[in-house]
Every structure is written in C-alpha cells, then in structure tokens.
Amino acid sequence: MKIKDTPIDLNKAILQKGPKFRSHTVIFQNNVADLKPTMSSLAFCLVYIVVGLFLLALAAIVYHNKKQLDFTLFLGGVGIAILTFGITLVMPFVKQVTFDKNTGSYKNNIDRKVKLENIISLQILNKMVTSKHGLSYPCYELNMLTKNGRRINVLNHNDIDQLLSDAEKLAEFLSVELIDLRHEIIL
C-alpha cells in the first residue's frame, strides 16, 4: 500500500477549545516530568459532582417523604446526568501524564506511548476560543512533534506565562527545540 505524503500544518491547533484558566502545571522530580492538574480546575469540576450528588440525595428525600415518583425520577435523572458529566470532566485531570526518563517514554493514557527519543520538538500555538453565546478568549497549546509526524497535545490552557515557563523547562528536560508558532489571529 502506498502511503500518501500529507504535509503537517504546524500552525493548526490540535484542539478547538480550551479552558479559560491554568489547568495544569509541569512538575519535575528526579527523571520524571509530571503534568499536575491545578486545584482550582479540579474544584470547578467538583461543582458538578457535588450538584449531581445533591440532586440524587434530594430525589431520595422526595421519594422517602412524599413517594412522588415523577419528581423523584426527574431529579434523579438530572442528578445522574450532571454527576456523569462531572466525572467525565474530572477524568482527564486525574489521568497521569508523564515524561519518564527512567522508562524512556511519554504516556498520557489517551494516545499510545511515545519513546522520548522520538520526540523532535515542542511547539507553542495560540488560538481564539470563540462562542456566539459565551466568552471569547485566547488559549494556548503546547504540542509535541514526533519523528514519524505525530503531533500530540501536552498542555492546553489560557495562562501563557505558565505555559511558556513549563514549555521551556520541558524542552530543556527533553533536550529538544521549542518552537514558538504564535501568530496574529484575524477574525
């Protein structure tokens, strides 16, 4: 089978959206660089879990006190939906993302493992998260490029100072070049 040569557009953001806060920081310990979720990002995700659990508890109270099945089901259904949503939000935050020099690999529990020796560069990109009925704000990605042309997102958040600092340290840790591909965005 002939493999097509498809050029990689390094300026193109991997993810369309991103949070309007610092979601992760990179922590270096011995030979390992870990992506740690920030407390505030976890706390905001927990709001959904708490609201979901509260509605489920309320459903139980309503059923216990009034035996009102329709309202119980309504509250329970909405509660489960919000709880599930909260759990799916928290999951990416609690998944371990590491660059481990001891094992020589990068793992994020989403993509397949990448050998550190195959990482050729890190790149910083900017994008504008726009929404007609919501906030519009700049957001930044730190992506890595591998020898075989894969691009994998490492960081994706709104705090450029922290992202720049993390990117520089990570590039030094991995001994790869850091390319700043931020550009003016014309709407």
Partner 1 sequence: MKTLNRYLIGIFLTILSFGAFAAEEEPSSFSALLTGVSSGVDTFFNDYLGWFVNLIFYSLPVAGTKFPLIVGWLFIAAIIFTFYFGFVQFRRSGLALGIVSGKYSDPNAKEDGEVSHFQALTTALSGTVGLGNIAGVGVAVAIGGPGATFWMIMCGLLGMASKFFECTLGVKYRTILPSGAVSGGPMYYLRDAMAERGFGGLGKVLAIGFALMCILGSFGGGNMFQANQAHAMLTYAFDVPPEYGIITGVVLAALVFSVIVGGMPSIASVTEKVVPYMAALYLGMGIIVILMNLDQIGAAFSAIFEGAFTGAGVVGGVLGALIQGLKRATFSNEAGIGSAAIAHSAVKTKEPITEGLVATLEPFIDTVVICTMTALVITIAGLNVAPFDGAGLTGVQLTAASFSDSVGIFKYFLALAVIMFAFSTMISWSYYGLKAWTYLFGEGKSMEMIFKLIFCMFVIVGATIQFGAVIDFSDAAIFAMSIFNIIGLYFLMPIVKEELASFVARVKSGEIKKYK
Summarize as ranges the residues that interact with partner 1 (CB under 8 A): 12-13, 16-21, 38-41, 43-48, 50-51, 54-55, 57-58, 61, 65, 68, 70-71, 74, 78, 82, 85, 89, 127-138, 158, 185, 187
Q: In the chain, what is the greatest distance between 2 CA atoms, to the nearest angstrom?
A: 69
Q: Measured from the CB atom, is 96 or 130 closer to partner 1?
A: 130
Residue carrying structure tokens 């407390």: 39
Q: In terms of CB distance, is 45 or 155 closer to partner 1?
A: 45
CB of 86 to partner 1, least distance (A): 9
Q: Which is nearer to partner 1, 78 or 178 (CB)?
A: 78
Compute the distance between CA of residue 72 and CA of residue 145 in angstroms, rounded to an integer: 51
Taking the least distance from each CB to partner 1, the nearer of 131 and 148 is 131
Q: Which residue carries 């979901």 as its tokens?
A: 52
DSSP string, 112-157: PPEEGGGEEEEEEEEEEE--TTS--EEEEEEEEEETTS-EEEEEEE
Strands 151-157 and 177-180: unpaired
Specify the residue, 96 or 136, whose C-beta has the smaller distance to partner 1.
136
Rounded to the nearest 5 percent, the helix, strand and coil shares of the chain are 40, 30, 35
The alpha carbon torsion through 162, 109, 51, 41 (nearest 10 deg) reads -10
Measuring CA to CA, which residue among 151, 133, 150, 134 is closest to residue 142? 151
Q: How far is the CB of 128 from partner 1 (least distance, A)?
A: 7
Nearer to partner 1, 13 or 97 (CB): 13
